[in-house]
Structure 1
Amino acid sequence: MRTTVNIDDELLAAAKVLSARSHRTIGSILEEALRKMLYDVEQQTEATSALPDFAYSGGLRQGVDLWDKDAMAELLGEARR
C-alpha cells in the first residue's frame, strides 16, 4: 500500500544508507523496522501483563474458624483486648 509519512531527516538518511548497504528498498527497511518495533512491544506487553501464579493447594488448619474472632486471636497468640 502506498502512503505518505513524515520522517526525521537523519532517520531517513540512516534508512537510505542501510538500504544501499543491504541492497534492499527503503520501503522494505521501514517495513521491517516497524514490524519489529510493533511485535517487540506486543511481546513485552504480554510478558509484563502476565500475573504471577499464587495457587495454593493447602487450606486452613483443622478446627480453624475464620469467623470466630476469639479463637483466631488465641491461635495467633494475641491477648484479648
Structure 2
Amino acid sequence: MRTTIRLEDHLLREAKAQAARAGRSLNEFIEDAVRAAVRTDGTPAPAPPPLPVFRGGRGLRPGVDLDSNAALLDLMDDHLR
C-alpha cells in the first residue's frame, strides 16, 4: 500500500543514512520501525513527549486557520525549521 508521510528533514536524512549503512531500502527501514512501534509482545512503545500547554487570553496567532489541516501542517513545518 502507498501512503504519504511527513518527516522532519534531519530525521529523514538519518533514516536514509542508517538504511544505506545496513544495505536496505528506506522503505524497508521505515517498515521495520513501524513494526517495532506496533509490536504486540506486551512491551509498550515509548510514550510520546508531553504536549506543551499555553495559557493566555490572546486567542489564535495571526495566520492560523483552524478550518484548514493543510494550513496548520504548513505552519507546524515552518515552526520546526
The structure number with the bigger radius of gyration is 1
Which protein has the bigger helix share? Answer: 1
Q: Which protein has greater RCO, CA pairs closer than 8 Å, 6+ apart?
A: 2
